[in-house]
A and B are shown apart, each in its own frame.
Chain A
Amino acid sequence: MAVRRSKGETIFLAVNYLVMALLCLSMLFPFWSLLAKSFAAASVPSTQLYFWPSQTTLANYARVFANKNIWIGFGNTIFRTVVGTILSLVMSIHVAYPLSKKYLPNRTFWTSLIVFTMFFSGGMIPEYILVRSLKLYNSRWALIFPILLNTFNMIIIRNYFMSIPDSLEESAKIDGANDLLILYRIIIPLSFPIIATVVLWTAVSHWNAWFDSLIYISDGNKQVLQTILRRIVLEGSLQLMELQGGAMAMEASNVSSEAIKAATVIVATTPILVAYPFLQKYFVKGVLVGSLKG
């Protein structure tokens, strides 16, 4: 169909393209500005640092990569992300499957028991006391067990399971397969798209989590990257930046604490920035599945 556009419509379209471009710029600029800062040599005054520094250096990054706290953070974050995501996925699938079966006895009761916790929770203090009484304080498992199941993600998986035709299950049952076999051999292989989505969501939330590590972990060797980042960037901890030498030492090695903060943020963000464009379609999928039937 040929599109005829009035003058007003053409102007609207042009403005629209422009508005979108500006919006994207506003999204990207803060990252750019941070990148510029992270490459700035200490001699560049911070008031002249908006687009690109006049003198660049890799010294800030060298400092960040030489900082053992950053590597400890990466190690702990990778541990919680990998182990936490795998365990969460296993749990979610095993809870979602029975709840997806209409013939599960007292299905409404079991579902309500679980869904209720989405809307009513104990809150910060009782959860903190629970973690302490389970002797999880200062244990890496304190970052995994309390968020093993995410009800919203589990329900999304359940909804997907429910959309798989019953006929597949029935024919397998005639062939003598039990529920476990049906889940592992038929349902899971058919649910790859939603499993990928939930895995990515869980992994991102583990990667980004910081509050649990802040309140449950006091041992410096068990802190995750976000918490270390928080102390460096928001609290300006020179000790965690390994800058104990003070201003003189910093100047000598051409680094500044502001530039090191910026480089630290960039280093911590890069894994997500790199992975995100390739995985974007899986991230989005779950929103749609969730909103259709949630």
Chain B
Amino acid sequence: MKKTSLIQRYWKNKYLFLLLIPGVLWYIVFKYFPIYGLTLAFKDFSFRKGIIGSSWVGLKHFTYLFSLSGFRRAFTNTLIINFYQLLFSFPAPIIFALLLNEIVHIGYKKVVQTISYLPHFLSWVILAGMFMQLLSPSTGALNHLLGVFGIGPFYFLGDPRYFRGTLVVTNLWKSIGWNSIVYLAALSNIDTQLYEAARLDGANKFQEIIHVTLPSIAPIVTVMLIFQMGKLFGDNFDQVFNLYNAAVYEVGDVLGTFTYRMGLRDMQYSLSTAVSLVTNVISFSLVIITNAIAKRINDYGIW
């Protein structure tokens, strides 16, 4: 098959490589160099000597890290918070899409979509500012509303009992609309003949959802679930960083915020790089594993 050598093939496509090379260089400088920089976890970093020149110290930073209760706490918090997100924030957009799909009035549906996608476009800085006002125990509207029913007030952002719940709910609030897009698309792709057949068989709306709708979107739900599990160690740094405070560190400090405080605030560069390395290796393994599972399911077709 191959009549031309590799060099000839590269030469033949020289214009393509002309386009590609600046990008590849960017990836090497801005992505691969920091990856190389992870070796800092095994060195004692000083700005004077640079990453390459700093001296090797073996596993010193890891040994110290694992003995730190702050690290163990951040590790557990990350896992727990992400698990809650998986439990609540994952099914929510699916349910939302199912309900929205039943709305027949096109105009109403459009309005709901427009409004529910909106928070996705606002930064956590803005949203945190908004939630701080809304959730304030003394002047916040939510506690006022709850007060009408004789409940509260709750210090949603300052009480360790409520902080994780607040994180989960505010994240759900921000993402429910946007994350439903994929499912809405899958729902609109379902063959209407299936519904007609179900109707002829005497199925009611509820039975239709169970027997036609859910099986039709099961593959995309599975894929999304698996990818979500791959993110079990990714943390919502932006959200936590803008919402948390020292009063809720014990339940709210996650690996990202811990890395930030260790590294950029306390300038323990090597130690916090060790945290990054641990997190990245675990996250990467999870992605590899979950991808392999996704492939298997797609190939063998459980559904």
Q: A16-B102, A233-B125 known; A104 and B16 CB under 8 Å?
A: yes
By the criterion CB–CB under 8 Å, are B114 and A98 in contact? Answer: no
Set B17, B20, B125: member contacting A229, Cβ < 8 A:
B125
Cα distance A12–B279 when bound, in Å? 45
Surface stretch bound by A, among B78-86, B246-254, B256-264, B293-301:
B256-264
By the criterion CB–CB under 8 Å, are A33 and B19 in contact? Answer: no
Please name all residues of chain A whose beta carbon is closer than 8 Å to the beta carbon of B103 when the two chains form the complex.
16-17, 20
A230 within 8 A of B: yes
Please name all residues of chain A whose beta carbon is closer than 8 Å to the beta carbon of B99 when the two chains form the complex.
16, 19-20
Closest to A284 in B: B181
Set A12, A130, A183, A273: member contacting B34, Cβ < 8 A:
A130
Q: A20-B100, A113-B27 known; A269 and B126 CB under 8 Å?
A: yes
B75 within 8 A of A: no
Looking at the assembled complex, report how far the CB atom of B94 sits from the nearest CB atom of chain A, in whole angstroms: 14
B194 within 8 A of A: no
Q: A24-B115, A26-B173 known; A126 and B40 CB under 8 Å?
A: yes
Per-residue interface assignment for chain A, residues 20 to 32, with 1 indicating a CB less than 8 Å from any chain B CB and 0 otherwise = 1001101111110
Please name all residues of chain B whose beta carbon is closer than 8 Å to the beta carbon of A276 when the two chains form the complex.
118, 121
Per-residue interface assignment for chain B, residues 77 to 105, with 1 indicating a CB less than 8 Å from any chain A CB and 0 otherwise = 00000000000000000001001101110
Surface stretch bound by B, among A57-65, A244-252, A258-266:
A258-266
Closest to A290 in B: B182
A74 within 8 A of B: no
Cα distance A281–B269 when bound, in Å? 44
Looking at the assembled complex, report how far the CB atom of B200 sits from the nearest CB atom of chain A, in whole angstroms: 11
Cα distance A129–B181 when bound, in Å? 38
List residues of B (1-28) whose CB comes within 8 Å of A's CBs: 6, 9-10, 13, 15-20, 22-24, 26-27
Summarize A's interface: helix, strand, loop or mixed.
helix
A280 within 8 A of B: yes
Residue count of chain B within 8 Å CB distance of chain A: 93
| Highest count of chain A CB atoms <10 Å: which of B129, B220, B242 | B129
Set B33, B129, B287: member contacting A119, Cβ < 8 A:
B287
Please name all residues of chain B whose beta carbon is closer than 8 Å to the beta carbon of A78 when the two chains form the complex.
none
Q: A20-B108, A180-B15, A272-B121 known; A6 and B272 CB under 8 Å?
A: no
A46 within 8 A of B: yes
B65 within 8 A of A: no
Please name all residues of chain B whose beta carbon is closer than 8 Å to the beta carbon of A179 when the two chains form the complex.
13, 15-16, 19
Q: A20-B108, A47-B138, A291-B185 known; A120 and B35 CB under 8 Å?
A: yes
Please name all residues of chain A whose beta carbon is closer than 8 Å to the beta carbon of B15 when the two chains form the complex.
178-180
Please name all residues of chain A whose beta carbon is closer than 8 Å to the beta carbon of B104 when the two chains form the complex.
13
Please name all residues of chain B whose beta carbon is closer than 8 Å to the beta carbon of A149 when the two chains form the complex.
23, 26-27, 30
Please name all residues of chain B whose beta carbon is closer than 8 Å to the beta carbon of A101 when the two chains form the complex.
13, 16
Per-residue interface assignment for chain A, residues 69 to 110, with 1 indicating a CB less than 8 Å from any chain B CB and 0 otherwise = 000000000000000000000010011011101011110001
Looking at the assembled complex, report how far the CB atom of B155 sits from the nearest CB atom of chain A, in whole angstroms: 16
Q: A119-B284, A126-B273, A130-B37 known; A23 and B126 CB under 8 Å?
A: no
Cα distance A201–B126 when bound, in Å? 18
By the criterion CB–CB under 8 Å, are B125 and A210 in contact? Answer: yes
Closest to A37 in B: B133
Please name all residues of chain B whose beta carbon is closer than 8 Å to the beta carbon of A50 when the two chains form the complex.
141, 144-145
Q: A17-B108, A30-B130, A126-B38 known; A98 and B17 CB under 8 Å?
A: yes
| Highest count of chain A CB atoms <10 Å: which of B23, B27, B122, B181 | B23
A211 within 8 A of B: yes
Please name all residues of chain B whose beta carbon is closer than 8 Å to the beta carbon of A99 when the two chains form the complex.
20
Looking at the assembled complex, report how far the CB atom of A80 sits from the nearest CB atom of chain B, in whole angstroms: 14
9 A-B contacts (beta carbon < 8 Å): A33-B134, A91-B23, A94-B22, A124-B264, A129-B37, A130-B37, A149-B26, A261-B133, A291-B220
Chain B residues near A (Cβ < 8 Å): 6, 9-10, 13, 15-20, 22-24, 26-27, 29-38, 40, 45, 47, 50-51, 96, 99-100, 102-104, 108, 111-112, 114-119, 121-123, 125-126, 128-134, 138-139, 141, 144-145, 173, 176-178, 181-182, 185, 196, 204-206, 220, 237-238, 241-242, 256, 259-260, 263-264, 269, 272-273, 276-277, 279-280, 283-284, 287
- 14 further A-B pairs in the complex, CB-CB below 8 A; given A98-B17, A110-B20, A123-B280: A101-B13, A104-B20, A124-B259, A125-B259, A126-B38, A128-B264, A132-B47, A133-B50, A183-B19, A211-B238, A229-B125, A233-B128, A258-B139, A288-B181
Chain A residues near B (Cβ < 8 Å): 1, 5-6, 8-9, 12-13, 16-17, 19-20, 23-24, 26-31, 33-34, 37, 46-47, 49-50, 91, 94-95, 97-99, 101, 103-106, 110, 113-114, 117, 119-130, 132-133, 145-146, 148-149, 178-180, 183, 204, 207-211, 215, 226, 229-230, 233-234, 258, 261-262, 265, 268-269, 272-273, 276-277, 280, 283-284, 287-288, 291
Cβ-closest 10 pairs across A and B: A122-B34, A126-B37, A123-B276, A95-B23, A208-B123, A233-B129, A126-B34, A179-B15, A98-B16, A117-B31
